[in-house]
Amino acid sequence: MFRGAVHLCAGRGRLGRRLSTLRGGSALGWAGKVSEIKKTLQSVLPGGAWNSLYDTSHLPPEQSDVVIVGGGVLGLSVAYWLKRLEKQRGAIRVLVVERDHTYSQASTGLSVGGIRQQFSLPENIQLSLFSVNFLRNINDYLAVVDDPPLDLQFNPSGYLLLASEEGAAILESNVKVQRQEGAKVCLMSPEQLRNKFPWINTEGVALGSYGLEGEGWFDPWCLLQGLRRKVQAMGVHFCHGEVTRFVSSSNRMETTSGEEITLKRIHEVHVKMDHSVEYQPVECAIVINAAGAWSGRVAELAGIGKGPPGTLQGTKLPVEPRKRYVYVWHCPQGPGLESPLVADTSGVYFRRDGLGNNYLGGCSPTEEEEPDPENLEVDHDFFQNKVWPRLAWRIPAFESLKHPVPPQVRSAWAGYYDYNTFDQNGVVGPHPLVANMYFATGFSGHGLQQAPAVGRAVAEMVLEGRFQTINLNAFLFSRFFLGEKVQEHNIF
């Protein structure tokens, strides 16, 4: 405090000198002097970035209770729920580290933005149901005083999943589970499909499941910005940097069966600044890995997977980036305003985009066709060879554009799935050996639609030690070692 007073006097002294030099007629004028004084006062008073040696405003704080690696929708959702569920206001200091403030490669912004409850696992259905409630009441959750309300641009048009003869039984049992959990889904026969959506070619379709409520698509960027705004208002620190190192301590322990294992605890996170070698070691108690497509790399930094294969130490986090393309085309006679997001038996999907008969869609490639995730370049041949033929067969209105002119792709982009190669479902919860690293990643294309609920689950795990609202014990890391796959039958 004494040092602060000395600095204040020194500041004022400098001010006095500057004012006297300016008295003799200057080009600045009175308005300029006032703004100078204001600036100096601001830097001296509490709340300003005052540092007598050099400016550290771009660096993260030296200590933080929780460090969240990754500032996408999952990371921000965890930050939001941590601040919301903390017992006392300001009890937990949270730092979100994001290396790309433009989110140019983040899966969130590049997502198609769909949300559905048509999963086969009850946990996934519950996650989606809560998330839809969250989105509906988003202005109750994410309201910030003096800021305008959020408009998610939600299209409640539903999802339509089509199944062939082989898949019909699975679809039916899935719908049964979905109804049990409270989702509003109905089954449709090929005839009903033809009546409702006359633009579908129902050849080869044995059954369709149609979401009546709580399904559709929205603007993911709006959700991301809304979360950012709210989370900043709640007092979460943001840092523009990259996590390059974890400093941890190990303890050799013996299990009940006499086996020796090494328990690790992360003490420091080294955050490197952009375009610089400068880094800041942040002391932390908990690290949350929400790095999306790059979660595998972050996990390796923490030493997860470094060990003989087949052991718990040697089990890597099986999340890797997978590139997916989305194409936008125009078709004046295409499906009308009532069309849902249609997912075909072949894995091709499309939806309307806006009032102008533009459609966007894509297809998940097979394992052999997987594109190289090195960059986000779009492969237009994939559309011509794989997506369009199947799409045009299912929706003959699209076919009409094929001859003589090839389909007009208005635009296209590519984004990453944080693909869980083990079972294509999320990884949530702590690592069994690195005791203070929690995962919120690996959702393989349905992370955006489950983000609000997953954020709450991870916050509950961090604060209470167990899942309280939705039981996600099936999604813990240990399943990779035990070999217990929790597989979905519907991911595309």
Partner 1 sequence: MAAPRASLNLVAPVWNGVTKSIRDLSSSVAPKGSQKKGKRLLQFLADRFYDVEALREYLLQKQVSKVHQENRFQGQEWIQSSGRRPSSLELLSFQAVPVESVDASDCAINYEGLDNLLALKELQSLSLQRCPHVDDWCLSRLYQLADSLQELSLAGCPRVSERGLACLHHLQNLRRLDISDLPAVSNPGLTQILMEEMLPNCEVLGADWAQGLKSRPEKQSQDTASPTPA
**What residues line the site for partner 1 (CB under 8 A)?**
47, 89-90, 136, 139-140, 143, 145-146, 148-149, 153-158, 212-214, 216, 233, 235, 336-338, 355-356
Tell me how far, at minimum, the Cβ of 446 lies from partner 1, in Å: 20
Nearest residue (CB) to partner 1, 288 versus 342: 342
Sign of CA dihedral 80, 84, 90, 93: negative
Tell me how far, at minimum, the Cβ of 427 lies from partner 1, in Å: 31
Task: Tell me the CA distances in angstroms from 57 to 43, 199, 272, 471, one per residue in order.
Answer: 11, 58, 14, 40
Burial 19-53 (b: 16+ CB within 10 A, else e): eeebeeeeeeeeeebeeeeeebeeebeeeeebeee
Nearest residue (CB) to partner 1, 165 versus 213: 213
Phi/psi of residue 15, each to 5°?
Answer: -60, -50
Tell me how far, at minimum, the Cβ of 377 lies from partner 1, in Å: 32
Tell me how far, at minimum, the Cβ of 135 lies from partner 1, in Å: 9
DSSP H or E run through 409: strand 409-420
Nearest residue (CB) to partner 1, 334 versus 442: 334
Nearest residue (CB) to partner 1, 29 versus 149: 149
Nearest residue (CB) to partner 1, 89 versus 403: 89
CB 126 within 8 A of CB 181: yes
Distance CA 66, CA 84 (A): 14
Tell me how far, at minimum, the Cβ of 74 lies from partner 1, in Å: 24
Pick from 457, 449, 463: nearest CA to 428: 457
Cα 309 from chain centre: 30
Distance CA 352, CA 330 (A): 10
Tell me the helix, strand and coil percentages in the chain, rounded to 5: 35, 25, 40
Tell me how far, at minimum, the Cβ of 117 lies from partner 1, in Å: 13
